């Protein structure tokens, strides 16, 4: 008599995701749905700089949540020191707002701030009516490999903010965070 090894013969399960982002607005989504939209690219953990004429030597590198009309925001490849540069996940997610006070979490309540996010951010794409990107982990059984392969995450491109002098930020300004595909 032979014994069937069900573990070895089992086929990998394909997870079927309900495409709730096509039927609900961002404000109609449940908390779980909202959080699952985050693609985990970690571009929002990059330091950004605003070309602000009214800045002084004292305020030059202070955090801000305000951008005036006509001012331009530039991305750098300097990431928050708490970011895990391989997984692109926050290494202290639960304590992040205490450890990094200017870490801003996008919620349904502050959705108007979505323009601070990069063009490829899924929240921004959906808010602007551009739909879910083909590389999103929700469309790949929760895996991030398609996103990394498409070059849409920060993996392999960053330096940590505790390894650089922020005064020298101009040397770290980059354009790749502005890239978006499909």
Q: Which residues bind ligand SF4 (CB under 6 A)?
A: 38-45, 80, 82-83, 90, 96, 100, 103, 106, 117-118, 121-123
CB of 55 to ligand SF4, least distance (A): 22
Q: Are 11 and 43 in contact (CB under 8 A)?
A: no
Distances (CA, A) of 174 to 59, 74, 77, 88: 23, 8, 6, 18
Q: Closest approach of Cβ 44 to ligand SF4, in Å? A: 3
Minimum CB separation of residue 116 from ligand SF4 in Å reads: 9
Q: Which is nearer to ligand SF4, 89 or 141 (CB)?
A: 89
> In whole angstroms, what is the distance from residue 22 CA to residue 103 CA?
29
Q: How far is the CB of 60 from ligand SF4 (least distance, A)?
A: 20
Smallest separation (angstroms) from ligand SF4 to the CB of 75: 11
Structure-token pair, residue 127: 């808010």
Question: What is the distance, to the nearest Å, from the Cα of residue 152 to the centroid of all Cα atoms in its chain?
Answer: 9
Cβ proximity to ligand SF4: between 84 and 141 the closer is 84
* Residue 151 Rama label (left phi>0; alpha psi -120 to 50; beta): left
Q: Which is nearer to ligand SF4, 123 or 172 (CB)?
A: 123
Q: Would you say 13 or 128 has its CB closer to ligand SF4?
A: 128
Q: How far is the CB of 90 from ligand SF4 (least distance, A)?
A: 3
* Buried residues in 103-119 as b, exposed as e (16+ CB within 10 A): beebeeeeeeebebbbe
Please enumerate in sequence order all residues whose Cβ is within 8 A of that of 67, keeping only pairs 6 or more positions apart, or say none: 50, 73, 115, 116
| Terminal alpha carbon distance of the chain | 55
């Amino acid at each position: 008599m032979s014994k069937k090894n069900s573990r070895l013969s089992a086929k990998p399960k394909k997870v079927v995701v309900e495409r709730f982002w096509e039927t609900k607005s961002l404000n109609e989504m449940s908390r779980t749905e909202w959080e699952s939209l985050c693609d985990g690219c970690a571009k929002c953990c990059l330091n950004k700089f605003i070309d602000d004429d009214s800045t002084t030597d004292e305020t030059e590198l202070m955090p801000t949540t305000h951008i005036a009309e006509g001012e331009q925001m530039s991305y750098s490849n300097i990431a928050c020191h708490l970011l895990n540069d391989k997984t692109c996940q926050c290494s202290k997610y639960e304590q992040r707002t205490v450890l990094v006070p200017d870490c801003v979490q996008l919620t349904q309540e502050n959705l108007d701030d979505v323009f601070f996010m990069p063009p490829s951010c899924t929240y921004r794409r959906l808010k602007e009516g551009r739909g879910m990107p083909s590389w999103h982990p929700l469309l790949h059984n929760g895996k991030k490999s398609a996103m990394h392969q498409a070059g849409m995450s920060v993996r392999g491109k960053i330096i940590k903010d505790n390894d650089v002098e922020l005064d020298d930020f101009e040397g770290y300004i980059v354009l790749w965070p502005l890239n978006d595909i499909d």
